[in-house]
């Protein structure tokens, strides 16, 4: 057995593993106990052994076997001392507990007097396969004020990257990743896929059975376009009862996304570049929304979405309106058109979730300017927020996530960013990358979806 194997064996003997998903309390109380209780040393089995040793030693001394009795008694005393030293200086521990107890001690998150522990921060942790969750209770004590300010210090102490922070009235939860998540590499996009979720990074995805309306923001060169193409490719591959998820695209600058729609020979009414095109598509979507609303109201089903309705003569596939360079579109409108647009788009977004419809607004910088930005009313309906880039401005942080820059997680790299799904706490992510030429990977799935759209247009 080499030194490394011996070391691991010794560690294994004193280390007590955590049970995944179980809550463990972290406290300094044990450190303030005066000593080890006799019951910790003398378990029933140990008490029986001790009794035999003592009786045997006394009997040997009585029967003129003094030296043997003394040796036996000394051996017994040695065992007792060894047990004490083991418990005192080599206690069994669970991973993270000593580190977190030390964190409480070093940061003065406790109060003591005359060697007695009076109070301490209420801390617990849950270990899972891929993450560690530190939970700080908010119970109105003096530690509550700093309960949401410990993320960076915990990250430094644990040596594990902080992934996200979840705050409630009762507690603050810090989530740390035990292993780094890897960037999604897109080698191929299946032509047809029945899974109604769009994977972004790690366990983060947009569920088409939930509100999938999204703001996608990021400066040029930050991976925003690659992310958008990957999501669009996934989206149009989704199929339900023979119909592909339906895509509408507006691109006022006639950039690459417009070219992709042209090359795929998409139905002409499903993409455009002018203000007239934008209104035409939105009006068509509003008509579809009213049709679906009537179908849903007349159905006998509850608590579901349109795509899952059990209809014999119709299939209500997901419908998505992607507007690239959104500020450019608004800039082409006069004040009357802009007011009409915000009203119609607002109505569409408010009613779209349950009817399996949604919109993605894509822009470089989120701002509060009503003439070139996303109005407050619309922003409230866009529950998914994705920001790409290594840095985020104070204005974008507030517009996208309603947070200050310092309250947001650290961005991983230049082609990373921050995202919030269904208005949950923002997390850091890495934008996906294509393993090969984007056109060669994306076009087949767009062409396949286009052919599917046309098949159903002809039937109508």
Q: What is the mean pLDDT of residues 134-151?
A: 92
Please name the residues in contact with 372: beta carbons below 8 A apart, sequence gap of 6 or more: 327, 330, 331
Q: Whole-angstrom Cα distance, residue 120 to residue 52? A: 44
Q: What is the DSSP letter of 160?
A: S
Which tokens go with 370? 């009503």
Which tokens go with 266? 């998409």
In the chain, what are the domain boundaries?
A: 9-177, 185-459
CB of 136 closer than 8 Å to CB of 172? yes
Of 147, 135, 133, 137, the closest CA to residue 176 belongs to: 133
Q: Whole-angstrom Cα distance, residue 365 to residue 44? A: 70
Q: Return the percentage of the chain with pLDDT > 70, whole number.
A: 81
Q: Whole-angstrom Cα distance, residue 404 to residue 396? A: 9
Q: Whole-angstrom Cα distance, residue 189 to residue 434? A: 10
What pLDDT does 249 receive? 98
Q: Which carries the bigger pLDDT value, residue 428 or residue 94?
A: 428
pLDDT tens digit sequence for 420-453: 999 888 988 999 999 999 999 999 999 999 999 9
What pLDDT does 447 receive? 97
In 3-state terms, what secondary structure has residue 363?
A: strand
Of 453, 454, 439, 457, the closest CA to residue 263 belongs to: 439
pLDDT exceeds cutoff 70 at 34: no
pLDDT exceeds cutoff 90 at 35: no
CB of 91 closer than 8 Å to CB of 79? no
pLDDT exceeds cutoff 60 at 38: no
pLDDT tens digit sequence for 196-242: 999 999 888 999 999 999 999 988 888 899 999 999 999 999 999 99
CB of 276 closer than 8 Å to CB of 252? no
Q: Whole-angstrom Cα distance, residue 18 to residue 95? A: 7
Which tokens go with 134? 């530190």
**Residue showing tokens 């089995």:** 45
In 3-state terms, what secondary structure has residue 119?
A: strand
What pLDDT does 224 receive? 92
Cross-strand pairs, 124: 25, 135
Query: H helices of 91-209, where?
Result: 97-106, 151-158
Please name the residues in contact with 150: beta carbons below 8 A apart, sequence gap of 6 or more: 107, 136, 172, 174
Q: Please, which pLDDT band fits residue 413 given cuts at 50, 70 and 90?
A: confident
pLDDT tens digit sequence for 272-320: 999 999 999 999 999 999 999 999 999 988 889 999 998 888 899 999 9
In the predicted model, what is the mean pLDDT of the chain?
85
pLDDT tens digit sequence for 50-70: 666 666 666 665 665 556 656
Cross-strand pairs, 395: none
Q: Please, which pLDDT band fits residue 193 given cuts at 50, 70 and 90?
A: very high
Interhelix angle 151-158/97-106, rounded to 10 degrees, is 130
What pLDDT does 13 receive? 47
What pLDDT does 46 receive? 58
What pLDDT does 221 receive? 84
| CATH code reported for the domain at 185-459 | 3.40.50.300
Of 278, 182, 186, the closest CA to residue 237 belongs to: 186
* DSSP string across 270-332: GEE-SHHHHHHHHHHHHHHHHHHHHHHHHSS--S--GGG---SS-----EEEEEESHHHHHHT
Query: Any idea of the CA torsion for 298, 302, 303, 307, to the nearest 10 degrees?
Result: -50
CB of 412 closer than 8 Å to CB of 431? no
Q: Say what the pTM is.
A: 0.72
């Amino acid at each position: 057995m080499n030194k490394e194997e011996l070391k691991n064996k010794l560690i294994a003997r004193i280390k007590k593993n955590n049970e995944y998903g179980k809550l463990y309390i972290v406290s300094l109380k044990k450190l303030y106990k005066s000593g080890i209780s006799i019951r910790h040393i003398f378990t029933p089995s140990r008490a029986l052994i001790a009794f035999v040793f003592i009786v045997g030693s006394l009997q040997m001394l009585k029967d003129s076997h003094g030296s043997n009795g003394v040796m036996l008694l000394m051996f017994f005393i040695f065992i007792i001392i060894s047990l004490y030293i083991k418990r005192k200086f080599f206690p069994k521990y669970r991973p993270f507990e000593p580190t977190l107890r030390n964190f409480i001690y070093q940061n003065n998150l406790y109060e003591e007097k005359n060697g007695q522990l009076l109070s301490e921060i209420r801390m617990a942790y849950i270990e899972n396969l891929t993450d560690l969750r530190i939970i700080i209770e908010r119970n109105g004590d003096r530690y509550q004020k700093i309960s949401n300010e410990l993320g960076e210090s915990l990250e430094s102490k644990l040596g594990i990257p902080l992934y996200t922070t979840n705050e409630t009235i009762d507690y603050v939860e810090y989530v740390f990743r035990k292993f780094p998540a890897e960037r999604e590499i897109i080698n191929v996009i299946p032509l047809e896929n029945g899974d109604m979720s769009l994977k972004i990074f790690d366990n983060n995805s947009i569920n088409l059975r939930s509100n999938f309306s999204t703001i996608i923001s990021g400066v040029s060169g930050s991976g925003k376009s690659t992310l958008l193409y990957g999501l669009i490719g996934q989206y149009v591959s989704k199929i339900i009862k023979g119909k592909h998820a339906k895509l509408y695209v507006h691109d006022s600058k006639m950039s690459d996304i417009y070219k992709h729609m042209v090359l795929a020979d998409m139905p002409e009414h499903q993409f455009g570049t002018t203000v007239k095109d934008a209104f035409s598509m939105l009006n068509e979507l509003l008509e579809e929304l009213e049709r679906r609303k009537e179908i849903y109201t007349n159905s006998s089903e509850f608590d579901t979405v349109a795509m899952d309705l059990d209809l014999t003569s119709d299939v209500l596939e997901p419908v998505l309106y992607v507007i690239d360079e959104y500020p450019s579109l608004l800039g082409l409108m006069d004040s009357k058109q802009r007011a009409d647009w915000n009203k119609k788009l607002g109505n569409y977004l408010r009613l779209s979730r349950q009817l399996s419809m949604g919109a993605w607004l894509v822009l470089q910088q989120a701002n509060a300017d009503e003439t070139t930005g996303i109005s407050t009313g619309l922003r409230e309906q866009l529950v998914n927020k994705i920001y790409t880039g290594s840095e985020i401005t104070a204005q974008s942080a507030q517009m996208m996530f309603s947070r200050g820059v310092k309250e947001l997680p650290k961005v991983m790299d230049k082609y990373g960013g921050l995202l919030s799904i269904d208005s949950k706490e923002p997390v850091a992510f890495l934008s996906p990358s294509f393993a090969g030429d984007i056109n060669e990977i994306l076009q087949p799935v767009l062409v396949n979806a286009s052919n599917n759209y046309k098949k159903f247009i002809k039937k109508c």
